[in-house]
Amino acid sequence: EIVLTQSPATLSLSPGKRATLSCRASQSVSRYLAWYQQKPGQAPRLLIYDVSNRATGVPARFSGSGSGTDFTLTISSLEPEDFAVYYCQQRSNWPLTFGGGTKVEI
Amino acid sequence: EVQLVESGGGLVQPGGSLRLSCAASGFTFSDYGMNWVRQAPGKGLEWLTHINSISSNIYYADSVKGRFTISRDNAKNSLFLQMNNLRDEDTAVYYCTREWDYWGQGSLVTVSS
């Protein structure tokens, strides 16, 4: 099973700041890495798939990068609605796995 | 508009069974693979199982293998999760997802005596 480790667990930032979230895989996942956003009481929302492709309707301030085992989600300038929990997910190998999440808080 | 609506959750005793359903609309259901994902209270996301569009490929997480069964009825645009021998640790909100771009609102399953 591929283990995904997200860091930091919590990121405290102000609106307008840049957020950098990390996801490290225990083995290569090639480019099969996705990112989700989840707000309290809501289902997760797909943000990024295949490392760097934004899902439909996702603002350009969200970007993904990386390859192999190290990946990054960057929010270029935090908007109030971006404060949420973010999860990475690998779809390279079964079983599919999620990281433990990074909470972005004010 | 794509919609996924889960139903069938509720309170069940340890060792009991429950069947979740996911009603799909707004897209050609038979064209897509589907998944079930759960989230225990205050915890992260856990992928459970995947079924491809024609039910020929099915995968399970080890935590539910042998206890949970995924199935689908393309004629009725429906996805199912049969859950047997439920344990306290199966308490969670269960989501169905279309591949990964659309998610239902979730169905709460509580396993408790």
Please tell me the distance in Å from A1's CA to the nearest CA on chain B.
10
What pLDDT is recorded for position A12?
Answer: 96
Which residue type sits at A20?
T
What pLDDT is recorded for position A94?
Answer: 95
pLDDT less than 50: residues of chain A: none
Contacts of B44 in chain A (CB under 8 A): 87, 98-101
Paired with A53 in beta bridges are A49
Question: Is the bond preceding residue A59 a cis peptide, omega within 30 degrees?
Answer: no
Q: How many CB atoms lie within 10 A of CB B113?
A: 9
From A92, A82, A85, A78, select the one nearest A36 (Cα to Cα).
Answer: A85
Q: Is there a contact between A98 and B95 if contact means CB atoms under 8 Å apart?
A: no
What pLDDT is recorded for position B110?
Answer: 98
Interfacial residues of A (vs B; Cβ cutoff 8 Å): 1, 34, 36, 38, 43-46, 49, 55-56, 87, 89, 91, 94-101
What pLDDT is recorded for position A97?
Answer: 97
Over pLDDT 70: what percentage of chain B? 100
Q: Is there a contact between A36 and B44 if contact means CB atoms under 8 Å apart?
A: no
pLDDT tens, residue by residue, A82-91: 999 999 999 9
What pLDDT is recorded for position A106?
Answer: 84
Which residue in chain A has the smallest CA separation from B106?
A43
What does A21-84 look like in DSSP terms, one character per residue?
EEEEESS--TT-EEEEEE-TTS--EEEEETTTEEPTT--TTEEEEEETTEEEEEESS--GGG-S
